[in-house]
Amino acid sequence: MNRPIIDMKGIFKRFYIGTPNELEILHGLDISVPEGQFVSIVGASGSGKSTLMNIVGALDRQTEGKYVLDGIDVSKLDDTELSGIRNKKIGFVFQTFNLISRTSALKNVELPMLYAGVPAKERTKRAKELLEIVEMTDRASHMPNELSGGQKQRIAIARAMANDPAIILADEPTGALDSKTGRLVMDLFHKLHKEKGKTIVLITHNPELAEETDRIITLSDGRIISDRMTDKEAAE
Amino acid sequence: MNLIENIKLAFASLKSNKMRALLTMLGIIIGVSSVIMINTLGSIMENSVTDTFDSQGGSNLIGFQITMKKDAARDYLMPDDFISEEMIESVEQRFADDINVVSVMYGSENGTTRHKRETLDLVIYGVSPGYIKQSMTEVIAGRYINDKDIRKGGKVCAISNKQAIKLYGSVKDAIGQTLSIKMYGSMYDFTVVGVYEYRMTGMMSAMVNAMGEDWNNEVYIPYTTLSEMYGETDPTFYYFYVHINDGVDAESFASDVKNYMNNRYYRNNDSIEIFYQTAEAQMSMMSQVLGVVSMVISVIAGISLVVGGIGVMNIMLVSVTERTREIGVRKALGAPNSAIRSQFIIESIIICLIGGLIGIIFGVLLGNLIGIIVGTMASPSVGAILLAVSFSMAIGIFFGYYPANRAAKLDPIEALRYE
């Protein structure tokens, strides 16, 4: 088994700490994801999926426990270091695409590299390569409002890949798409997984999509109720 | 994330909301343009004061007049208190090497003359030959009042070119004509010996032009002639002017003359003495007044800049709220707080700078528009432009910081969830 990219031990997350409304959302999760795995996290709303995703994505810190991402203990980092982690180690793909409006597709893909301090020429070159991977080269100069949902999501995936992150964190990436374009996006993830060996974390409530991945972690009420390899993985 | 990227970003953001950007800038534009306009006007006024000053003999002109002593015994004047012709003559002799010319104006009188069926108003000045040096006039035909006229108390006069044309058809035809002036109910006939023209620049000439012919109705006659009409055989003066030669130190000359006159003529006077004022001192006083005026207006303009700055802050806050989600996305993609902060501060600075530049252009244009009307052109000082630019930048930073900081401190999770 490959070395773990995500290594979480005893992750607790509580809100409103010290108030009568104190709320524990995650009750001590242990998750380990090896490099190159395509894992899906499923669960009903309110199961703690989003909270977990925020912690995995270094947008939020756990209240208790240890999270090592690609060999770095994230719990010890300050805000600026956390943004560095988000920038270089994580590629976000959102349900609502979240492209920066009035900014061309190419510039959107360049954005994470901009914050990483990549020189302009190199940025543009790499962004063009990424657009080629997601087959959006001809839309490079288009603004987000000139693109369809599926096209937007492909740009967003190219953007997520910009700094060659350790994991791609996709939060309901097909949730806002019709089944046909959703299919195309899923195919793109499979392609990145197979061809580039990317570690992908897919958050979804669609069990069919989850079945396509290597492994399914099911959350309920802030606890892991099931963590299994899919048939597909077993078959291989 | 470097500066150029931030500047590009700021421009892109402003471009996407042009109308709002312009309206936001308006406060800054008005503030800066009024500062620059005031400054341009200040230069124009100063230029014209300097012009007037130079045309009156510049720093070579010194005025002497009688004044109350500090420990004056009286609070009214006696005939002996005035400056006599003898005193002036003795000063002229004593300081002959330093003096170019002495000028006196004995007094002025209103009079009228008949022309065709019209009654024209005139102002008659009793002057010495030297007076032309400070009267902002120049003789263009014939001659001015001369020493012989003074001695004889001759009925001669110098009139303006406009009067000459009006009364006699042309400047040349005026020479030798007889001008009948009614003063004190009596008629006096004067021979026109010269025609003068106003030599004025700047605000003075603008004022003269604005007032039309009223300013060209001055008639100069020998002061001796005027005093004779009053029945005063020995004319005395309240003040006189001295034009000194080039290279003579005005200040030390003036104090020498003052001491000479006070020792010689006013030592035994219980209330009156001579005091002097150099043109330079007058000039600096005027400049000071101008300085205070433009300072006050600048402060008011400064307040409007601050108000403009608050407008910028307001719009930046709106912009931050509107772009909450974008800020969340940027943060998720790895933008540190500092990058978000500088993005918004630079946007605010750019708004203020563009506003400032437009303001400078408007200010210079407006200032010079007034300058054209007044007849003197001027540009604002480089210092004022630099000040305006740096002040608008400072406003951008000051009023942009709070919204930018608010953007920087947004929680990325909350920001991403923002609808």
Tell me the C-alpha distance between B414 and B156, whole Å.
Answer: 95
Rounded distance between C-alpha atoms, residue B59 and residue B300, angstroms: 34
pLDDT confidence band for B210 (50 / 70 / 90): low
Residues in chain B within 8 Å Cβ distance of A85: 334
* Residue B57, pLDDT score: 62
Q: What was the ipTM of the complex prediction?
A: 0.93
Cα–Cα distance for residue pair B234/B150, rounded to 1 Å: 12
Q: Which two tokens stand for residue B395?
A: 């406003």
Which of chain B's residues have a Cβ under 8 Å away from the Cβ of A108? none
Average pLDDT of B51-78? 80
CA distance A169 to chain B (A): 11
Question: How many angstroms away from the CA of B328 is the closest CA of chain A?
Answer: 9
| A87–B333 CB contact, under 8 Å | yes
| Cβ pair B381, B43 in contact under 8 A | yes
| Each residue's pLDDT tens digit, A110-143 | 999 999 999 999 999 999 999 999 999 999 999 9
What is the value of pTM for the model shown?
A: 0.71
> What are the angstrom distances between the C-alpha of A81 and each of A68, B10, B306, B334, B336?
14, 26, 37, 9, 8
3-state secondary structure of A138: helix
Q: Which pLDDT score is estimated for B204?
A: 56
Verify whether the Cβ–Cβ distance B338 to A80 is below 8 Å: yes
Q: Would you call A6 helix, strand, or coil by DSSP? A: strand
Q: Which residues of A are less than 8 Å from B412 in CB distance?
A: 59
Burial state string for A116-127 with b = 16 or more CB within 10 A and e = fewer than 16: bebeeeebbebb
Query: What residue spans of B171-278 are helical by DSSP H?
Result: 171-174, 202-211, 223-230, 250-265
Q: Could you tell me if A95 and B325 are in contact, meaning their C-beta atoms sit under 8 angstroms apart?
A: no
> Scanning every residue of chain A, which has its alpha carbon at the shortest distance from the alpha carbon of B331?
A83
Contacts of A172 (CB under 8 A, 6+ apart): A95, A203, A204, A205
Task: Compute the distance between CA of residue A231 and CA of residue A42 in angstroms, rounded to an integer.
Answer: 16
The rounded distance, in Å, linking the Cα atoms of B308 and B369 is 25
DSSP A131: H
Beta-carbon contacts of residue A162 (< 8 Å; ≥ 6 apart)? A91, A109, A110, A111, A112, A113, A126, A127, A130
User: Which pLDDT value is given to residue B56?
Assistant: 63
Q: What is the pLDDT of residues B358-390, one digit of tens each?
A: 999 998 888 888 877 776 677 777 888 888 888
Provide, rounded to the nearest whole percent, the portion of chain B with pLDDT above 70.
Answer: 93
Q: How far apart are CA B204 and CA B220, in angstroms?
A: 20
Model confidence at B144, pLDDT cuts 50, 70, 90, reads very high
**Distance of CA B403 to CAs A39, A108, A204, B325, Å?**
40, 24, 36, 15
Tokens coding B59: 């720093």
Report the residue of chain A nearest B412, measured CA to CA.
Answer: A59
Query: How many angstroms separate the CA of residue A168 from the nearest CA in chain B?
Result: 12
Domain residue spans in chain A? 35-61+78-235
Q: B410 contacts in A (CB within 8 Å)?
A: none
Nearest to B165 by CA among B125, B197, B205, B127: B197
Q: What are phi and psi of A14, to 5 degrees?
A: -125, 145
Instruction: Pull the structure tokens for residue A13.
Output: 């997350």
Residues in chain A: 236
**Cβ–Cβ below 8 Å for B1 and A114:** yes
Cβ–Cβ < 8 Å for A181, A149: yes
Cβ atoms of B305 and B28 closer than 8 Å? yes
* pLDDT value of residue B256: 92
Quote the mean pLDDT of chain B: 85
User: What is the rounded distance in angstroms from the CA atom of residue B233 to the CA atom of residue B407?
Assistant: 88
pLDDT tier at B58, thresholds 50, 70, 90: low
| Residue A100 burial (CB count, 10 A) | 20
Asked if residue A11 lies in contact with residue A65, where contact means CB atoms within 8 angstroms, the answer is: yes
A94/B416 touch (CB, cutoff 8 Å), yes or no: yes
CA–CA separation, B317 and B313 (whole Å)? 6
**Residue B105: closest CA among B224, B186, B216, B231:** B224
**By C-alpha distance, which of B275, B279, B397 is closest to B341?**
B397
Task: Name the band, by pLDDT with cuts 50, 70 and 90, for residue B209.
Answer: low
Identity of the residue in B326, B336, B339 whose CB atom sits nearest the CB atom of A100: B326
**End-to-end Cα spacing for chain B:** 27
| Cα-based torsion angle of the residue sequence A8, A12, A15, A17 in order, rounded to the nearest 10 degrees | -130
Gap from B24 CA to chain A (nearest CA, Å): 21
Q: Which range is least confidently modeled, B138-147, B224-233, B289-298?
A: B289-298
Q: Nearest chain A Cα to B328, which residue?
A: A98
Query: Residues 108 to 137 of A: which have CB under 8 A from any B CB?
Result: 111-112, 114-117
Strands B178-183 and B236-237: unpaired
What mean pLDDT comes out for the span B146-170?
89
A87 touches chain B (CB under 8 A): yes
The answer on pLDDT for B29 being more than 70 is: yes
Return the number of CB contacts < 8 Å for A and B: 63
CB contact under 8 A, B332 and A92: yes
CA distance A59 to chain B (A): 7
Where chain A has pLDDT below 70, the residues are 1, 232-236
Chain B positions contacting chain A at CB under 8 Å are 1, 5, 12-13, 16, 325-326, 328-339, 412-413, 416
Say which range, A168-177, B193-202, B208-217, has the weakest mean pLDDT: B208-217
Mutate to test the interface with A, among B4, B325, B333, B414 (most CBs of A within 10 A): B333
Nearest to A87 among B13, B329, B334 (CB): B334
Name every chain A residue with its beta carbon within 8 A of the beta carbon of B333: 86-87, 92, 111-112, 115, 159
> Given this model, what pLDDT does residue A232 score?
65
Q: What does CATH list as the number for A35-61+78-235? A: 3.40.50.300
pLDDT band at residue B330 under the 50/70/90 scheme: very high
